[in-house]
Amino acid sequence: MSSITLTTGMRQNLLALQSTNVLQEMTQQRLATGKKVNSALDNPSNFFTALAHNNRANDLLSFKDGISEAIQTIKAADTAITGITKLIESAKAVAESAKSALAAGTGSASQTLTINAATSITAGTTISIGGTAFTAVAGTATTATTFSIDSGTTTGIAAALATAINAATETRPMSASVNGSALTVTATTAGATMGATDIEYSAALSLAYSESAVAATGDLTSKLAQYSTLMNQLDDLKSDAFYKGKNLLGGASTTANDMTVRFGNSHNLAVASFDGSRSGLALDATLTSTSEATLQASIDKLEAGLETLRTKSSDLSSNLAIVSARNEWITGIAETLQTGAANLTLADANEEGANMLMLQTRQSISTSALSMSAQAAQSVLRLFQ
């Protein structure tokens, strides 16, 4: 082809047509792909910057599935806490009812009160017997409602308490006899009995005193059974609180149930598990109905268990807020990165469409100009015709 000689006009028109074709092909590619930067050859700076933005967005978005599962795991644990809370509240109501049923028990003619630990009974502590409060004092008892603990022995304190009960200056519907460290308190009114609540002391003195049981009514027996059922159901609910094999109520003795939520960039959140079972919350498996004090001690444990659950629920809520915020942030920053990459590489369809129309027009003009440039040579050809 190099041996073919073109006129200056034809060569200039040919070059213009070739340039137009190159631009037209580039514009066609932009319209087809929607991008003005399709490779590093088009614009190295924009291409690699956009690639970095997209890579980071994809890396962050890859953590969203794990974050979504973590959110569901936390929600499952919190739902279980709500259920366990309701069971404990029911158990507390049952225990309160058991106290009322105990007070209405059948009773017996007498009850035995045993002094178990002399050192646990200190000056100022009280014990209620038959509706009368007797106070321990150091030194000599000066009234009919005080008893001396100076002996420092269980037998000595038992004798002192019996003396106060049997005080000659008082008319009480009961009497006491002593056998070592045990007092037998007997109702003296004809037909009267000693009820379960006739001997009462604080839970703090449960090691110092013990009393014989009073026959339970059918209602009390039913309450005790209801409580045990609730505790069993509590443990069952705790065991069912897992999501995808992870149970945040499964126990804190090991880290097997702890959860680590990964957010990318080497950042994560550790969500600790805890023991949400009856034993983990330090609740009694059964109610002991020997006295109101023992029932109240179980109620106190239920209240403490409720407080523990409230604290754990608050911790889970905080963790859920953190994970949800991270999840939303990843969605937002990924969109920002992808938008930034698009701004660097995407083509303006309107602009490229206008370019294509102009290039097509230029192509037609260049073709016509090339044809006109060839007319001079055609005139020479006619001389030979």
pLDDT tens digits, one per residue of 260-313: 999 988 889 999 899 999 999 999 998 877 667 788 899 999 999 999 999 999
Phi/psi class of residue 320: alpha, beta or left (left: φ > 0; alpha: ψ in -120 to 50)? Answer: alpha
Tell me what pLDDT residue 366 has: 66
Residue 216 has pLDDT above 60, yes or no: no
Task: Please compute the mean of the pLDDT values over residues 239-265 and round it to a whole number.
Answer: 84
Task: Please compute the mean of the pLDDT values over residues 346-370 and round it to a whole number.
Answer: 69
Tell me what pLDDT residue 71 has: 93
Residues 6+ apart with CB under 8 A from 298: 95, 283, 284, 287, 288
**Residues 133 and 127: beta-carbon distance below 8 Å:** yes
Tell me what pLDDT residue 383 has: 62
Tell me what pLDDT residue 88 has: 95
Top-confidence range, 17-31, 84-98, 208-222: 84-98
Q: Which two tokens stand for residue 202?
A: 């604080």
Closest by Cα among 296, 237, 211, 231 to 90: 231
Task: Please compute the mean of the pLDDT values over residues 57-80 and round it to a whole number.
Answer: 92
Give 3-state DSSP helix, strand, coil % of the chain, rounded to 5.
55, 15, 30
Q: Looking at the DSSP assignment, which residues form a beta bridge with residue 112?
A: 184
Instruction: Measure the CA–CA gap between 263 and 269, rounded to whole angstroms.
Output: 8
> Which of 96 and 24 is assigned the larger pLDDT?
96
Residue 231 has pLDDT above 70, yes or no: yes
Residue 374 has pLDDT above 90, yes or no: no
Tell me what pLDDT residue 378 has: 65
Unique residue bearing structure tokens 């340039």: 19
Residue 123 has pLDDT above 80, yes or no: yes
- Give start and end residues of each alpha helix (H) in 125-217: 154-165
Residue 93 has pLDDT above 90, yes or no: yes
Q: What is the fold, at CATH topology level, of the domain defined by 72-96+219-306?
A: f41 fragment of flagellin, N-terminal domain (1.20.1330)
Task: Please compute the mean of the pLDDT values over residues 179-198 and round it to a whole number.
Answer: 80
Q: Residue 134 phi/psi, 5° resolution?
A: -110, 130
Instruction: Measure the CA–CA gap between 311 and 324, rounded to whole angstroms.
Output: 20
Tell me what pLDDT residue 104 has: 62
Residue 254 has pLDDT above 90, yes or no: no
Any idea what the Cα angle at residue 310 is, between residues 305 and 312, rounded to 5°?
A: 95
End-to-end CA distance of the chain: 26
Task: Please compute the mean of the pLDDT values over residues 241-269 and round it to a whole number.
Answer: 85
Buried b (16+ CB within 10 A) or exposed e, 60-95: bbebbeebeebbebbebbbebbebbbebbebbbbbb
> Which of 287 and 156 is assigned the larger pLDDT?
156
**Residues 273 and 248: beta-carbon distance below 8 Å:** yes
Tell me the average pLDDT of the chain: 83
pTM of the model: 0.59
Task: Please compute the mean of the pLDDT values over residues 350-374 and round it to a whole number.
Answer: 69
Burial of 283 (0-12, 13-18, 19+ CB in 10 A): buried
Residue 64 has pLDDT above 70, yes or no: yes
Unique residue bearing structure tokens 């016509």: 368
- Per-residue DSSP letter, 241: -
